[in-house]
A and B are shown apart, each in its own frame.
Chain A
Amino acid sequence: MKSSRFDSTVLTFCFAFLYLPIVILVVYSFNASKLVTVWGGFSLQWYRSLWSNESLMDAAWVTARVGVLSASIGTVLGTLAALTLVRFPRFPGRIPFTGMIYAPLVMPEVITGLSMLLLFVALDVDRGFWTVTIAHTTFTMCYVAIIVQSRLLTFDRSLEEAAMDLGCPPVKTFFKITLPLILPAIVSGWMLAFTLSLDDLVIASFTTGPGATTLPIKIYSQVRLGVTPEINAVCTLLIGLVTIGVIIASITTKRNEARRIRDEHAAIRGVL
C-alpha cells in the first residue's frame, strides 16, 4: 500500500531524529579519545574517572535522595489530589484547585522556580536539600495527580458498591478494592515523579543552597565550560536508569491497561 510506505518512511526519519543524538552520546561515552570527532577505541576510562570524581558522586547522591523523597511525598499528595478531583465533584474551591493541579504542567520552569525561591526567602528558610525536595514535591505531585486521576475516571464504581454491598465499610473498601486496582497508576506516577525530579535543572537551581548541588546543576555548569567525555558517561548512566524505569513502568501499566479495557468491555456490554 502506498500510504503504508509513506508511513514507515515518516516513522523511520522521526525515530532516527529522536534517537540518533542519544545513541551518539552513549557511544562516545565509551570513546578512549577526548575529542568528540575522533574514535580512539573502546574504553571505560570516563566511567572510572567518574567514580573518583567526588563532587559528581556527591551530586548524584543528593539527586537520588531528593528524587526518592520528593517522588514519594508527591505520590501520596498527588493520589489524594486525584481522589479529590474525581470523587468530590462539587466541593467549594474546586475550580482553583483544578487550576493549581494543571498549572505546573505548563508553567515555565523559571517562574515556578523563582516563585518558590521567593517564598523560601520570605519565610526565612535556609535553602538546601529540603527546599529542593519541597519544590520538586510540589510540581511532581501534579503529574501524579493527572495519571492517577485518569485511572480513577475509568474505575468501575460498581466494584466499590459491590464490596460495600457484601458488608465492607467504606475505608476498608478503599484499601481492599480501590487501592490495589489503581496501584499500577500510582507506581507509574511515582516513576514519572522520580525522573522529573532527576532531570530538573531550573527549579533546583533556584531553590537549592550550599551543600545541595544536584546532578543536573553540576552537569549544567560543566556543559557551559565545554563538552567533556565524563559528562557523556554520567548522561549514559542516567539514560540507562530511566530506560529501565520506563520499561518496568510500561510492563505494569500494560497489565493495568488490559484490565481497564476488560472492565470497560464488561460495562459496555452491560449498557447494550
Chain B
Amino acid sequence: MAKSLGPVKRKFSPWTDPSATPFIRFENITKRYGDFTAVDNLTLDIYEREFFSLLGPSGCGKTTLMRMLAGFEEPTSGRILLQGKDLSGVPPYRRPTNMMFQSYALFPHMTVEKNIAFGLEQDGLAKPEIKARVEEMLKLVKLEPFAKRKPAQLSGGQRQRVALARSLAKRPKVLLLDEPLGALDRKLREETQFELMDIQHTLGLTFLIVTHDQEEAMTVSDRIAVMDKGVVVQVAAPAEIYEGPNCRYVAEFIGDINILDCAVTENAGVCVHPGHPPLVRLESDGMKIAVEQECPASNGAKVAFAIRPEKVRISLDPPVETDVNTAHGEVWDIGYLGDFSVFLVRLDDGRILRAAQANVSRLVDRPITFGDMVWLTWPLDGGLVLTR
C-alpha cells in the first residue's frame, strides 16, 4: 500500500518494520480433505502482541488454519513456525498455544475453579501456585463469586468468561479464539469486545481470533486477514481494509458499498491537487467519474468503481457547474437505521445507488422522501478504483 489511510488505533505496527521478525509464520500452508482444498498455499505473518483477526464467511478455511496452529490438524504441506521453531509433529498438548473454543468446551463435570486449574495441573504446578493463578484469573474475568459453580449453573456470558480464564491461565504465547463472542447477544458482545482488548493489552499476549463478524473484527483487531476459499485476500489494519479494499470481494464483504462497472478513459498520472494522488477518469454507462488514486489501469481497461454510501451526498438541488461525480434519480426506498438513513436511489438509467445520511436532527419527517427526484454527488477522494 502506498500510504496508510486514516488513523490507526494505537502506535503499534510492527508489520511496517521490515527488520521485525514475525512471531507466528504460516509458510505455504495447504490443507486438503480428499478433493476439497480448505487452505490453499497460504503464507501469513503475525507479530508478537498483535491482536490479529481471520475474517471470512464460513467454509473459507479460517477455522482450519487456526486448528492447524493449535495442532488439531496437520497441514498437508507447508509449515507453521512459532518464534522461528517449526511446529510440525508437535501434538496439541505440547504446543504453547491455548484455544478458546466456539462452544467454550467447558468440562461439565468440573467446577469453574477446576476448569481453570485444569491446564495448570497438567503442567505439574505446585498446589499453592495453581490456587494463586486461579484466583488471579477469576479476578481478571470478574467471576470470583462463581468459583464453586458448575458450568451448567452459569449464564452464557459467564461461561464465556470461564472459557477465557481457562485458556489464559497457562499464559500461552498465543491465545486462539474461535468465534469467541458468537453465542452472546449484541450488547454483551460489544462490552466483551472491549474487555478482550483490555485483557490483551494488560497481559501483552498475542491474540488470534477467528470470526465471520466484520464489526467484531474491525473493533478488536490490530490487523485483519480477509479470507476467501482458502486464500488470504487482503491483510491490513481495519481502517485500511474498510477505506482501501484491494478487490471487489473485500469491498463487498466489509460494510455496505456501491459498485459500478467502468472503463478507464484517462489515466495520465496528472496530479490536480498538489500532494494528492494523480487523477483517474472513468466512464460508467455515460456517467463520468473522477478519482484521485494511484492506479495501474491503462486507458480502456475494465475496472470497478466502488464508493461507500456514507460518502455519497444526497440533495434535492442540482450540483453547481459540474457533470463529474454526480448522478440524478428518484428515491426508491428509505431504510431508517436510527443513527443513519440509507436512501436507495434509482438512477435515470435504472441502476440503483445507495446514499447514507446521518440523522443529525430529531425530525421524524425527513426533508427527502419517497419519490423525490434527487442529485447524488461525491468528492474526488470518496470512491475507489478496483482493478480486480
A interface residue numbers (CB < 8 A to B): 156, 158-159, 161-170, 177, 180-181, 258-259, 262-263, 266-267, 269-270, 272
B123 to chain A, nearest CB (A): 6
A166 and B179 contacting across the interface, CB-CB below 8 Å: no
B292 to chain A, nearest CB (A): 43
B179 and A161 contacting across the interface, CB-CB below 8 Å: no
- Within B147-163, which residues are at the interface with A (CB < 8 Å)? 152, 156, 159
B170 at the A/B interface (Cβ < 8 Å)?
yes
| Given A266-B104, A269-B183, A270-B182, A165-B98 contact (CB < 8 Å) | yes
Neighbour of B103 across the interface among A164, A169, A266, CB < 8 A:
A266
B94 proximity list for chain A (CB < 8 A): 167
Q: Which of B105-113, B236-244, B266-274, B341-349 contacts A (4 or more CB under 8 A)?
A: B105-113
A165 and B108 contacting across the interface, CB-CB below 8 Å: no
Distance, CA A232 to CA B71, complexed state (A): 62
Neighbour of A156 across the interface among B103, B122, B152, CB < 8 A:
B103
Complex: chain A residue closest to B184, CB-CB: A269
A161 and B119 contacting across the interface, CB-CB below 8 Å: no
Distance, CA A161 to CA B98, complexed state (A): 10
A166 and B98 contacting across the interface, CB-CB below 8 Å: yes
Distance, CA A79 to CA B167, complexed state (A): 31
A168 and B101 contacting across the interface, CB-CB below 8 Å: no
| Given A166-B166, A266-B103, A181-B182 contact (CB < 8 Å) | no
B262 at the A/B interface (Cβ < 8 Å)?
no
A-B residue pair count with CB separations less than 8 angstroms? 83
Distance, CA A180 to CA B109, complexed state (A): 8
B159 proximity list for chain A (CB < 8 A): 266
Neighbour of B72 across the interface among A156, A161, A263, A266, CB < 8 A:
A161
Complex: chain B residue closest to A260, CB-CB: B108
B122 and A181 contacting across the interface, CB-CB below 8 Å: no
A167 and B109 contacting across the interface, CB-CB below 8 Å: no
A162 proximity list for chain B (CB < 8 A): 99, 101, 105-107, 166
B108 and A166 contacting across the interface, CB-CB below 8 Å: no
Neighbour of A164 across the interface among B93, B123, B170, CB < 8 A:
B93
B70 proximity list for chain A (CB < 8 A): 161, 165
A155 to chain B, nearest CB (A): 11
Distance, CA A181 to CA B106, complexed state (A): 12
A267 proximity list for chain B (CB < 8 A): 103
Neighbour of B107 across the interface among A164, A170, A177, A272, CB < 8 A:
A177
Q: List 21 A-B contacts (CB under 8 A).
A: A158-B103, A158-B105, A159-B107, A159-B108, A161-B92, A165-B71, A165-B167, A166-B118, A166-B119, A166-B166, A166-B167, A167-B122, A181-B108, A181-B109, A266-B104, A266-B183, A267-B103, A269-B182, A269-B183, A270-B102, A272-B182
Distance, CA A208 to CA B167, complexed state (A): 57
B59 proximity list for chain A (CB < 8 A): none
B108 and A167 contacting across the interface, CB-CB below 8 Å: no
B179 proximity list for chain A (CB < 8 A): 270
Distance, CA A263 to CA B101, complexed state (A): 13
B91 at the A/B interface (Cβ < 8 Å)?
yes
- Within B74-130, which residues are at the interface with A (CB < 8 Å)? 91-95, 97-99, 101-109, 118-119, 122-123
Neighbour of A263 across the interface among B71, B108, B122, B182, CB < 8 A:
B108
| Given A180-B109, A266-B183, A166-B103 contact (CB < 8 Å) | no
A269 and B156 contacting across the interface, CB-CB below 8 Å: yes
A269 proximity list for chain B (CB < 8 A): 156, 182-183
Distance, CA A166 to CA B92, complexed state (A): 8
B107 proximity list for chain A (CB < 8 A): 159, 162-163, 177
B183 proximity list for chain A (CB < 8 A): 266, 269-270
| Given A161-B92, A164-B91, A262-B152 contact (CB < 8 Å) | yes
